[in-house]
Amino acid sequence: MHSRVVKRVGTSIISVTLVLGGLLPELPALASSGEPPFEIVFPQEVSATHFSSTYGARRSGGRRHRGNDLLAPRMTEVYAIADGVVVHVGINRLSGRNVRILHEGDWTSYYLHLNNDTPGSDDGSAPWTFTVAPGIEVGAGVDAGQLIGWSGDSGNAEGTTPHTHFELHSDDRAIDPFDLLSEAQQRALAHEAWLTRAVVRDLPDYPID
């Protein structure tokens, strides 16, 4: 239910910024309040995910945790939290395989430690087709709730419980996403519960506010 059509919108950061302005309505950035100008979709398959408030926790090398870890089995689906444009798909030693998406109001979502293992193994050698969904590349437009990839343990998460490290930045500053994630989780769980009842009772379409 999360798959959407990918819009092709350019190939460079400059063109991404220009196209984003055309794709999305201009809304004021709300960095001072810590609230994005859009309602976020929970960024991972909700029934498979567990998380807690770990923003700011100490990490090796004197670092601080700048997001929340969404723990779930390897290859759990990961979704875009809102409409936007992919501005990075890459890999590094700490973050492993990762994706960044630029949203309206200069908000950016980060999805780190995506899967790098061949299904059924922990080999760290999977092709990128087991990391990101088809069409997820720099310059691609995405819709809220669109499948963008799969959770894993790449980078310095190797050997830990598979998870997606999720970050949310406003004007290049990380904010604590826990409350926003908790609210999105509750909406997703309510939606799943409604769908279950709808199947049993043959109810009409889910009401959209």
Tens digit of pLDDT for each residue in 65-90? 789 999 999 999 999 999 999 999 99
pLDDT above 70: residue 24: no
Q: Model-level pTM?
A: 0.79
Pick from 149, 132, 125, 117: nearest CA to 44:
149
Computed over every residue of the chain, the mean pLDDT equals 83
DSSP label of 178:
H
Express each pLDDT in 53-64 by its tens digit: 877 667 766 777
CA 47/CA 36 separation, integer angstroms: 25
Concatenate the DSSP letters of all residues of 32-69 into one string: GGT--SSPPPPSB-GGG-B----TT-B-GGG-B--SEE
30 band by pLDDT with thresholds 50, 70 and 90: very low
**Is residue 172 pLDDT above 70, yes or no?**
yes
Q: Mean per-residue pLDDT for 129-149?
A: 98
**For residues 90-95, average pLDDT:** 96
Task: For residues 33-45, give the mean pLDDT.
Answer: 91
Question: Which residue, 102, 113, 69, 122, is CA-closest to 171?
Answer: 102
pLDDT at residue number 18: 29
Cβ atoms within 10 A of the Cβ of 36, count?
24
pLDDT at 8 exceeding the cut of 60: no
Share of the chain above pLDDT 90, in %: 67
